[in-house]
Structure 1
Amino acid sequence: MNKIRNFIFLSFGLSWTIWLLIWLLGMKLGEPISQVGTVLAMWMPALAYFILRKIEPGHYPLKADFRLAFKNNWKYYLLAIWLPAFLTILGLGLYFLIFRSQFSLEFASVEDMLKAVGAEPQGVPLGLIAIFQVIAAVTYGPIINTFFALGEEIGWRGYLYPAFREKFSSLYSHLLTGLIWSLWHLPLNLQGYNFESTYWGVPWLGLVAMFIFCFSIGVLLSFMMEKTGSLWAPALLHGAVNASAGLGILFQIPSEQALSLRILGPTPLGLLSGLPFVIVALIILFKRKDSQL
């Protein structure tokens, strides 16, 4: 367990240092330099792993490689691209079925997003922009995001989850990995990332929601890695999750109520709209013979 602890502490230390510097410099989430810092932080689990492997060669095995093996695993790569969008759409459908007053096809949220970055539609229909966002989420978006997500997948799925599996069942290993991964996001969530900061039960309910999300997504990511033997498959699925996570916001009427309910949805991180991911994760676990605690 000492090696696992070393990896966790170094991963947290490197990433949290970046986020702390961003906070101390007064940069807000979403600003260009802050976004660059977050991308760097996403690669810190990989850096922590490679540092420790350099210090102690042979003591930090990586349970997957960087070969695509696309010919034999093409169906899993297609699943990695499209499954997150499918589950996200199911989740936002469930959310808007309950909170119907928040649904709109006027795409006011798109207009607000454009204004926030100083851009104007200039005669382009907001609906067309929303359609482009949906197309990006199921085509090139996951592929671009893969290179940002790979740093996390090297650390969390390539090393940490398999290290836990040497000692615990699949379910227990996923619970531990999900807990650690969710706590790794803590500096961001405390600043209102993902759930804003006006929901009931802030910040504790947000920690619960983040754990459920990381646990369920982690099961899918590990499934992809185990089926393909490649780190690119979970990185692609991770990238697809990030690419499709904001689809529900496109159809949401921006309001204080919407922000206060962000803990429930319509993104997959919400307790309500994330249920399809949770269900698929539980199905995967229950079909395994080694999922007992």
Structure 2
Amino acid sequence: MGDPLDDMRRLGRFCLLAFGVSWLCWGGAVLAPGAAPVLKGLGGFGPAVAALVLVRRRPAERRALLRRLVQWRIPLRVYLLALVLPVAGIVLALVLTRALTGAGAILPQHMPPWVPLLVFGYVLVFSVAGEELGWRGLALPLLLARLGPVAASLSLGVVWAAWHAPLFLLPGDFHGAIPPLLFGAQVVASSLVYTHLHRTAGGSLIPAHLFHAVFNSAVGLFPLLPQVRGGDVTALAVAVGLLCLLAFWLALVMRRRAA
């Protein structure tokens, strides 16, 4: 186990770098709309860049971090959880919303079967790959070494939610149509799910990447967000509520196992 003070300093440097790279790019996107698509994409790689900078002079740690990107020998149930849970949760939320309101679509619009795969691949490469190497690759292990899994998850969740803040200012970005508090609750609650995947997979980063990419893809494909429901946030609120219930249950499980 490393020095606690050194770990916290590294975590602080990681956050400064991740926020600095991302917010600089996203701020540029606000000021230069013509370059917004490129700058927005580059900003998403702030956490990964920060992680790689911090391990650049630690060869053993760098190799271990990168090895976790291809650590595929993990329980099958973890793969299934990462791939199925996001879609199942969103479908359940849409079914409950229909039952509560009597209105609203449940399934995505008809599309060729290759479209979801294309969306998943795009999200994985150009969005998720820039985040998880930092959040779950570097930051989470540092926090887990000093805090219990619940406190580590909640702390990282708050930081992760705050990192997204400039995206709410980008014209045309989907974040602008989502209530910030609802978005923050979703990020903090999902952080407990990521920690559960991380621990049950022995630190492998594959489940986190899969879960993140499936979740983001499903949110975009299914009729969940307010902008595709005439501004109605009911479905999103139900989905976040279900996620919070799952997070609460996982927190109880983590505390019981740590006792």
| TM bracket (short chain) | 0.7 to 0.9
- For 1:163, the aligned partner's letter is L
Residue 226 of structure 1: aligned partner = 199
Q: Is the 8 A contact 1:209 1:271 kept in 2?
A: yes
Question: Where do 1:185-264 residues align within 5 Å?
Answer: 185-191=164-170, 193-197=173-177, 206-228=179-201, 229-249=203-223, 258-259=230-231, 261=232, 264=233
Shift in Å, 1:146? 2.5
Residue 36 of structure 2: aligned partner = 34
Distance of 1:134 and 1:286 partners within structure 2: 39
Residue 47 of structure 2: aligned partner = 45
Match of 1:23 among 19, 30, 41: 30
Residue 242 of structure 2: aligned partner = 276
**Structure 1: runs of 5+ lacking an equivalent:** 28-32, 106-126, 200-205
Shift in Å, 1:19? 0.5
Shift in CA distance, 179/66, structure 1 to aligned 2, threshold 3 Å:
same
Secondary structure at the residue paired with 1:67? coil
Residue 12 of structure 1: aligned partner = 19
Q: Could you give the per-residue CA deviations for residues 240-280 of structure 1, whole angstroms, max 9, x where no partner exists?
A: 0011003442798957xx32x3xx343xxx33322222222
Distance of 1:53 and 1:82 partners within structure 2: 33
Question: Where do 1:56-135 residues align within 5 Å?
Answer: 62=65, 65-70=68-73, 72-101=74-103, 103-104=104-105, 130-132=109-111
Structure 1 segments, 4+ long, off by >6 Å, are 56-61, 250-253
Distance of 2:33 and 2:92 partners within structure 1: 38
**Structure 2: runs of 5+ lacking an equivalent:** 1-7
- For 2:42, the aligned partner's letter is L
Shift in Å, 1:75? 3.1
Shift in Å, 1:212? 1.1
Distance of 2:159 and 2:57 partners within structure 1: 23
Q: Is the 8 A contact 1:169 1:291 kept in 2?
A: no
Shift in CA distance, 189/2, structure 1 to aligned 2, threshold 3 Å:
same
Shift in Å, 1:47? 0.6
Percent identical among aligned pairs is 21
Shift in Å, 1:194? 3.8
Higher helix share: 2
What's the Cα RMSD here? 3.2
Shift in CA distance, 52/104, structure 1 to aligned 2, threshold 3 Å:
closer
Distance of 1:253 and 1:146 partners within structure 2: 23
Secondary structure at the residue paired with 1:69? coil
Secondary structure at the residue paired with 2:238? coil
Distance of 2:16 and 2:226 partners within structure 1: 39
Q: Is the 8 A contact 1:141 1:240 kept in 2?
A: no
Secondary structure at the residue paired with 2:83? helix
Shift in Å, 1:13? 0.4
Shift in Å, 1:59? 7.9
Secondary structure at the residue paired with 1:286? helix
Secondary structure at the residue paired with 1:249? coil
Q: Does 1:3 align with 2:10?
A: yes
Shift in Å, 1:151? 2.1
Deviates more, 1:33-42 or 1:51-60: 51-60
Q: Is the 8 A contact 2:78 2:197 kept in 1?
A: yes
Q: Is the 8 A contact 2:150 2:254 kept in 1?
A: no
Shift in Å, 1:132? 2.5
Residue 4 of structure 2: aligned partner = none
Distance of 2:67 and 2:10 partners within structure 1: 18
Distance of 1:99 and 1:92 partners within structure 2: 10
Shift in Å, 1:185? 0.4
Q: Is the 8 A contact 1:80 1:234 kept in 2?
A: yes
Q: Is the 8 A contact 1:142 1:236 kept in 2?
A: no
